[in-house]
Chains A and B, each alone.
Chain A
Amino acid sequence: MLRLSRTHHLAIVAHALDGVPEEVCGLLAAPAGSDGGDIAAVYPCRNIRASAKVYEPHPLDVAAADDDAGARGLTLTGVYHSHTHTDAWPSPTDVAEAGWPDWHFVIVSLRHPEPVLRSFRIVAGEVTEEPVEVEDH
């Protein structure tokens, strides 16, 4: 289960829309020691690949996000990125590159007029979708 505030949900979707035609990416953080799904901070990052097909967050943005998360008692527990032309489902590249079994992998699809945000666990190449709860605060 991924729990996002409405503000964070909108921030992720807005970042995805703003990045068109390229993919955007960012990091998610939750309280240290939790299951990692209660997202307390969202960190938009620059996509150093500057591509419509692949993403990799800028290392300085990863460092800044991790520093901020650590200072707030949070742990990085996930990553989001956009799919500009395909559905919100992990691509073969997403599955191959998914390295952290405890992380939440959020994908925003812009394939259809309405953006679609979904979340996945990816463990040893196996994709499992998880529910996303958007909390109204």
Chain B
Amino acid sequence: MPLEVHLPTVLRQHAGGQATIQASGSTVAEVFEDVIRQFPLLAGQLITEDGKLHKFVNVYRNDEDIRFLDHLQTKVSDDDVISVLPAVAGG
């Protein structure tokens, strides 16, 4: 059973304009691998070349920031929603 991945407006152009896509996996990393398999243009937008979460996105499992869970190894189940939002900061 796939779960829902909600993409921010800034990334939808790389996913055929879709706001929500279905993807499978037991961790956020696996789900993102499936997302990138479906939409290769998202490669490099979510995960860096060395396999880390891109610093310019924040990712939430339901309402929990995965940085405060297990990062990309955060477990997910079918009724979870993964939300990606742009990370913005400065001084």
A-to-B contact residues, CB < 8 Å: 23, 25, 27, 29, 32-33, 49, 53-57, 59, 62-63, 66, 69-70, 74-77, 79, 81, 90-94, 97-100, 102-103, 105
Contact = CB atoms under 8 A, between A and B. Distances in A.
B13 interface: yes
Given A75-B10, A91-B91, A93-B89, 14 more contacts: A23-B91, A25-B88, A27-B88, A49-B89, A54-B90, A54-B91, A62-B58, A75-B9, A75-B13, A76-B8, A92-B91, A94-B91, A97-B88, A99-B88
In this complex, the member of B17, B19, B65, B91 whose beta carbon has the largest number of chain A beta carbons within 10 angstroms is B91
Interface of B: 8-10, 12-13, 17, 19, 54-56, 58, 60, 65, 83, 85-91
In this complex, the member of A74, A79, A94, A99 whose beta carbon has the largest number of chain B beta carbons within 10 angstroms is A99
Contacts, number: 79
Nearest to B8: A66
Contacts of B83: 63
A27 B9 CA distance: 12
Nearest to B91: A93
Contact of B89 (A29, A56, A103): A56
Contacts of A33: 13
A12 to B, nearest CB: 15
Contacts of B89: 49, 54-56, 93, 97
B90 A62 contact: no
Nearest to A49: B89
9 contacts: A32-B9, A32-B12, A62-B86, A62-B88, A66-B85, A76-B8, A90-B90, A91-B91, A93-B89
Nearest to A62: B85
